[in-house]
Amino acid sequence: MAELTGKTILVGVTGGIAAYKMPNLVSMLVQKGADVHVLLTENAKNIIPPLPFEALTGNRCLTSPFEQSDPPVIHHIALAKKADLMFIAPASADIIGKCANGIADDMLTSTILACKCPVYFAPAMNDRMYTNSIVQENMEKLRRHGWHQIDPAVGHLACGGAGLGKMPNPEELYLYIERELACKKDMTGIKLLVTAGATQEAIDPVRYITNHSSGKMGYAIAKAAMLRGAEVTLVSGRTALTPSPFVNTVDIVSAADMYREVTARAPEQDIIIKAAAVADYTPAEVANEKIKKKDDDLSIPLTRTQDILGFLGAHRVPGQVLCGFSMETEHMLENSRKKLEKKNVDLIAANNVKVAGAGFRGDTNILTLITRDDETELPLMSKEQAAHQLLDKLLEIRLQIQHERGIPDED
């Protein structure tokens, strides 16, 4: 779902040593379907020649606005007109200073100043240069004029020392481009909370009760909503997954932790999706020391955890859309419909763990989206695709609720 097919991306490379990383980023963009054009400064050619970029993109790597072509083309204007995004990495102090002061004396600066699309700078330089007040003032000027900056990392620098000024790796840079271009922004202005992963209920300092949830479905929903423009909060049990840097992630351990964090944030949310596998029961008492093994059997008294979805349904704010998940092993539709009514929610996303492709830990899912009025059976698909299908349905429900409340469509 997060493809860049049909998008034109201009990548500007300057004379920073981090230029050697840029073929990897360009390759990622091409593999996602983007039409990529690379512009090099003269100093950048001292670090990496045009040939690798031309081989990766299939496009001529331009370094001068005066390069000849047949028929004649004003290259910097032609590229700027068709660009969906301009991305400068590494962005040297020189290129930042020129753009901040409207100087266009080469192919790259001329193209940047001609662009009407979003422009991103990824500064990369020695920490002494990066923290210089003139450089900081120039970057602030760029931000003030609506251009975007990706903060550098702290790490090993070309001078041999360590400090602030290291360009993020290509995988991280790609996330900024993906966020900008991959999806239509039909969720802009919407606050969405999603829960993910499994809770852990402590027995003693060593052991706990949990389940097989990997958190992949909830994380896919969080990322999909973020790509579509929503302000996303992810309340996550412990997982092996890395959350998106553009999602507000709240880490929890137990069902009680999740209840506290979700209910505290619920009133301000437009959409809440309960995708986490929360424990229904927790040990009545937690031992202070490790429980030692004995020859006879062991019984652990359990008490009911607080019902998060039930609380949300009973205390929902006007216009709020609520979605729960129902993972069943039998009577999926019947049990899910009962849950829909009992919890007072708008939609239940149901699946049967016994069906191949729909269980825990996998990268695919088979969901049935159940509302009070209908059921939509989705085929086997990736969890990312299922996340977008679910969000489509929730937006339909939100629009219906707004109509019923007499709220005009936002266009």
Q: Which long-range contacts (CB under 8 A, 24 or more apart) does 49-58 make?
A: 52/23, 53/11, 53/13, 53/22, 53/23, 53/26, 56/23, 56/26, 56/27, 56/30, 57/26, 57/30
Tokens for 185? 């922004």
Q: Are 315 and 266 in contact (CB under 8 A)?
A: yes
Q: Catalytic residue, from 61, 159, 183, 323: name it.
A: 159
Tell me whether strands 85-91 and 8-13 are parallel, antiparallel or unpaired.
parallel
Q: Greatest CA separation found in the chain?
A: 89
- Which ranges of 59-146 would DSSP assign to H, the alpha helix? 75-82, 93-100, 107-114, 127-130, 133-144
Known catalytic residue: 159?
yes
Alpha-carbon distance of 35 to 122, in angstroms, equals 20
Three-state DSSP state, 107: helix
Tokens for 315? 């205390």
Q: How many CB atoms lie within 10 A of CB 43?
A: 16
The DSSP result for 27-55, as a single string, is HHHHHTT-EEEEEE-TTGGGTS-HHHHHH
Alpha-carbon distance of 227 to 125, in angstroms, equals 30
Burial class (CB in 10 A: 0-12, 13-18, 19+), 211: middle
Q: How many residues does the chain have?
A: 411
Calculate the alpha carbon distances from 161 to 20, 142, 156, 165 in Å.
19, 28, 6, 11
**In the block, residue with structure tokens 């389940």:** 211
Q: Are 156 and 200 in contact (CB under 8 A)?
A: no
Residues designated as active site: 159
